[in-house]
């Protein structure tokens, strides 16, 4: 489930189509995360930025920053160019 803190996202309301596109892109990197005992969930979309939370073995992993930028962020930007950055957060 996507929690959307602001009413508009880059001029558009966050809708089911956008949520599905985000989840589809994340599903492409999830097998890698699962193979290492981790996972990722969406926290929110705000100001063209996607906020995510790592789970499982990814929490505190020193490689998670590389996974975020070189794996997750690249897949998201490829699928949804309007998203300019993916940011990992520690809170729900």
Please name every residue paired with 45 in a beta bridge, in sequence order, or none if there are none: 50
Q: Report helix, strand or coil for 26.
A: helix
pLDDT at 67: 93
Kindly state the average pLDDT of the residues 51-79: 94
The model's pTM is 0.81
* DSSP character at residue 56: E
Res 91: pLDDT:
63
Over residues 1-45, the pLDDT tens digits come to 344 444 444 444 556 788 889 999 999 999 999 999 999 999 888
* Residue 18: HSE in the Cβ half-sphere, 13 Å Cα cutoff: 22
Q: Report the distance separating Cα 39 and Cα 53, nearest Å.
A: 8
CATH second-level architecture of 16-88? Answer: 2-Layer Sandwich (3.30)
Locate the domains of the chain by residue range.
16-88
């Amino acid at each position: 489930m996507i929690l959307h803190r602001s009413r508009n996202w880059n001029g558009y309301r966050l809708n089911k189509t956008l949520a599905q596109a985000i989840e589809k892109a994340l599903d492409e990197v999830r097998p890698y995360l699962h193979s290492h005992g981790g996972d990722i969930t969406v926290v929110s979309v705000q100001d063209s930025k996607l906020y995510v939370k790592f789970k499982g073995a990814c929490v505190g992993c020193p490689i998670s920053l590389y996974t975020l930028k070189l794996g997750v962020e690249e897949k998201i930007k490829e699928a949804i160019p309007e998203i300019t950055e993916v940011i990992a957060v520690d809170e729900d």
